[in-house]
A and B are shown apart, each in its own frame.
Chain A
Amino acid sequence: MAGMTAVVRAEGLTKYYGKRRGLEDLDLEIQPGEIFGYLGPNGSGKTTTIRLMLDVIRPTRGTVSVLGTGSREAAVRARIGYLPGELALEGREKARDYLEFLGKVRGGVPAGRIGALAERLDADLGVPMGKLSKGNKQKVGLIQAFMHEPEFLILDEPTSGLDPLVQQEFLTMLREVRASGRTVLMSSHVLAEVEHVSDRVGIVRAGRLVAVENVSALREKAVRRVELHFDAPVPAEAFDGLPGVRDLRVAGASVRCTIDGRPDALIKTAARFTVVHLVSEEPDLEEIFLTYYSDEGRHDDRQDVA
């Protein structure tokens, strides 16, 4: 049964804070074993969705089930690891003591796990929590989310405040989670943060899920800048009107353009001449991401949403 049931199933999930829209009519399924990237600018409804899944807030309409049970069941939360978007850690208590307390309440944290994770992330757990730097707080947050090896990890903006080296280690930890068949929902306002680890991304804007895409499909749609250099000047007409080629600029022996999707037609045309140099930028998923926004979001009333 565990293999078949969706880890998250949201149906018509809607949340209003008074008259203010937080999330509107969300239908979403996340399957076991996938890493789902949840994208949107700050205030678009990502955190609202996550907090509804965890029963911190209650839906205005619609339902959401997590790991096969309703979100109201307290027991299911032992099988979830959660990193809040705005993690607050206060007081004189040492981070290690707090982590041990959380571990005891949730269960399933073997001795030594906290120390091992702290070592991987280079976190100092001997400091009172109120005195931790932002980066160190985030590390403590990651440790508590990962330490009981939960079936489902919900990470709200996990990389904020982490230095690049720790980010790499975090991505390695995510890949280990995927390798062991567990599921991750991770939110971000920057696509570049999630595109390398996510199987699918959902894009949310002004409280609405506007697209759910496979990352590979997204990459296929990606906008890519290409620069070709030839051994002699080439005729501009040869490159005119090629499918998928935009912003064409032919100057002497060089051709610059932008391609949507596959570069096939351009390559075949270029092959008729002698290519001495080729520059192709990594597909900029950010750009597609923004395209979604400008297309689907244009008619949206710009409400202030959380």
Chain B
Amino acid sequence: MGLKEILEHHIVDHIWSWLYFGPLKLPVSKHLLMMGLASLILLVALPLLIRSRSAALAPFRAMLEMVVLFLRDEVVVPNLGRKGAAYLGYFSTLFFFILTMNLLGMVPFGATATGNLAVTAGLAATTFLLINFAGIKEQGLFSYLAHIVPKGVPAWLYPLLFPMELIGLVIKAFALCIRLFANMIAGHIVILSFIGFIFIFGSINAALGLGVAPVSVLLVLFILLLELFVAFLQAYIFTFLTAIFTGAAMHPH
């Protein structure tokens, strides 16, 4: 089994079967399972945690509360303004959904659903819809379209800038999609490469392979910790950038 197969096995989605809804052909795959698992965890754990009065769970409740309040006070409200607090549910869900999927990728037998371009594309698509929905709701359709081009631009540049800004809107969402995907998958690839080193050197000389092994394992450990950090960081960045883009669409100054 070459490195290619190993990589594909660990990183690429496994489609087990297909579901057909009229013209739609929906896959049933490992990443979908992980996504469902993440949703289930959130749907069960969060309400229970919030409603529970047990003292043992109090620290977790406090952590959850701190995260949500941080999102509200540092991410949503500064970018979207006072009215933006209504969108807090979206941002909190986005953060915890991405975070849970990221973390599930680090559990044995788990897979990183956010390391799949289709999944991040789905998240980016909802963000794209949210940006436009919030912008249109706040300013009205006509005003929103008129403000897509920044203020102070000479009139003759409008025909050039308007399509560019429209494309820019799509690119923002596209960048979100690629950023999350690349970040989540990169760690896995690096880890697999480090483990691959052991076998590459081992095929040259067994002793060499054994010598490389401790170094590789240490490096893998380091990357794993880094991935743990990145799991939180990318969830935060995705949420934060979504807030910035939504805020920019709501208040075009």
A and B: bona fide binding partners: no
A residues with a Cβ closer than 8 A to B are: none
B residues with a Cβ closer than 8 A to A are: none
